[in-house]
Structure 1
């Protein structure tokens, strides 16, 4: 009885924590970005959900539309630019909605790309294995880590190991790959491979990957937690307590879903991986008239036109081609 009572008390305490967060998230300024606005705001925050095709959406479309207007990328808690002074127009980050707390809410629009969760989990496994296997070119995992660190120091650049959630998933996958290689020794796997997702001698099987606590932590409901601003690298102080409670009592996840839905409803645009081209066309239709108007106004200024003519023409063509 004492155990049951203790469990009930913990559930009630956690429910209070999660409800308090939900009510505050839905009512505070962090959810008041007006998706219903007819025009794109000064800053577009592209909330990049991993393995959703966001890289293609950005490089093949957004990057052309906002050429030379990209904000520096962010992998940490702090923004790498001052949104009140910067003239950049599009900010891309493998981060959660919590980053909007650092952006000017009345001047920001939010865009994201969503994908079927099963396809996204499978893609996450494939990428973790693909990138992890590249490190097998080294003698052991310690040397692989040293090479990566050397690369960071020399190039002073971010790598996939710095981006969430790969900064957690890849080291784990790399260590597992080396452990399996060491266990094999010089033996080769000669049997015919019938199921590429279940080659235990070489790589962690898919079923082991998806059932691991780390995959549950970062991938299974990763998109929902990202949109809710509750990833494990959230910059909001109460996020970790909320995450702990939802992990202990999964039924409380419905409140996280409430917040995620609310925020999706307020986003300027939501693209779908399964409908990439259609999603890009819809975005172009939403911003096309505004973009063309801005470019025509800029072209009417002689100095600006002289300096930016080529860029303007490129942006004009990409918008016009999407609208045709």
Structure 2
């Protein structure tokens, strides 16, 4: 074939490809822009600092939200005020308007089912790199619990039997674990079967995140299509309402367009940032102490005041209609993992509604929180140790994370570019709110000190004032008597 004809054919192909790309990109840009502008128009909140009738805790997975639920919210709200089956989208009924607390991994789109004008949203964000590590570790930890079974078929059958017989909510019913855990479970069984076939023995390695004989290496995990669709930029998509668990029909197309053309991510960030701005509270996992203190003062104090108001018009939901969220929290000790056993709650079940009964202050709430998280962390540590024993020598620790290569860390950052920017924005919001909270707290403290000092001063000098007034009165009487005496003379 003539070289000139070859060149012409190649140019024609390039033009067609370019036209197809431009057409697809143009379509995606229109879809994303349309969604973003509509979403931004709906993001109007008159008073974001005042607690509404319904508190929606948008629980971004692996941010520490479990401790807030068990050690704050379970102490503030009685079970009868929790929205039924919050973590279970398949059976979650948002039509019941009487509940006052919704804690769920559902994304922001669930607000379309809620009384938006009367709903306050709170959330916690975490450093995106650490969140990817934690998601990877937890996926393996939960999946490893199934290795008590002789093979994958046995584990799957047991899971199906348990899920059909029990009303409790399984990890496999909850986003995102209903996608991540079965995937990781199958992978763990395949690697165990391969070790048995090859007769391999335990090999000590320095990098626990790259032990391919026992678990999927981290670098392989982060590049898997499931991780790219669910894990990476997960916080941004959750706040924007664009996860694969969204209630919006257009969510999947918008998300896929953004994943395909990174430049379109700026529109999703605009929406996510606006929503963070309108939230009652935004916490940071890394600023644990400060975040918890601010939650107690900003959210806890208002909940206590609201639920203990003498003129409150609460209509409590019948407890027979409720299923506590604690039955469905995938990070909690109560959560059932569809294995042969269900671990009962030993941490907070008896503490529900404690604050509303005792009318505790925000300071007392913080004290109760600190005692609660100690027990919760011990239970979590025990479960993790027991699970990871089944894939020994794998052992995930903070120290082990430091041995992961910079190349893998940089790849995680690149895959989570939207989350990194949103996290920095959340940090700015947190710093601003923290300063405002501390300023208000300081002003209130000075007012209390001034008031106390005034009272002390008043009662301290009252006797002196009375004595002084009495002496003046006696003196006036003496002077008056002397005047009368002089007049008589």
**TM-score between the two structures when normalised by the length of structure 2:** 0.60
Aligned mates of 2:170, 2:267 — CA distance in 1: 34
The superposition leaves residues 209-256 of structure 1 with CA deviations (integer Å, 9 ceiling, x where unpaired) of 111121111111000000000001111111111122112212211111
Distance apart, 1:322 and its partner CA:
4.5
Match of residue 250 from structure 1: 262
Task: Say if 1:151 and 1:281 are closer, same or farther in 2 by CA, change over 3 A.
Answer: same
Task: Give the unaligned 5+ runs of structure 1.
Answer: 305-309
Distance apart, 1:271 and its partner CA:
1.1
CA contact (8 A) 1:52 1:114 kept: yes
Match of residue 162 from structure 2: 151
Alignment counterpart, residue 48 of structure 2, candidates 1, 19, 37 = 37
**TM-score between the two structures when normalised by the length of structure 1:** 0.89
* Residue 138 of structure 2 corresponds to residue 138 of structure 1: no
The superposition leaves residues 133-164 of structure 1 with CA deviations (integer Å, 9 ceiling, x where unpaired) of 11111121121111112222222111111111
Task: Say if 1:171 and 1:312 are closer, same or farther in 2 by CA, change over 3 A.
Answer: closer
Match of residue 108 from structure 2: 97
Aligned mates of 2:308, 2:103 — CA distance in 1: 26
Give SS of 1:297's match.
Answer: coil
* Residue 61 of structure 2 corresponds to residue 50 of structure 1: yes
Match of residue 359 from structure 2: 316
Match of residue 82 from structure 1: 95
CA contact (8 A) 1:113 1:272 kept: yes
Give SS of 2:296's match.
Answer: helix
Moved more, 202-211 or 310-319: 310-319
CA contact (8 A) 2:123 2:281 kept: yes
Which protein has the larger Cα radius of gyration, Structure 1 or Structure 2?
A: 2
Runs of 4+ with >6 A deviation:
none
Match of residue 479 from structure 2: none
Match of residue 343 from structure 2: none
Task: Say if 1:97 and 1:291 are closer, same or farther in 2 by CA, change over 3 A.
Answer: closer
Give SS of 2:257's match.
Answer: helix
Match of residue 199 from structure 1: 211
CA contact (8 A) 1:77 1:235 kept: no
Distance apart, 1:106 and its partner CA:
1.1
Match of residue 230 from structure 2: 218
Aligned mates of 1:219, 1:315 — CA distance in 2: 41
CA contact (8 A) 1:66 1:315 kept: no
Distance apart, 1:283 and its partner CA:
2.2
Distance apart, 1:319 and its partner CA:
2.7
Task: Say if 1:38 and 1:222 are closer, same or farther in 2 by CA, change over 3 A.
Answer: closer
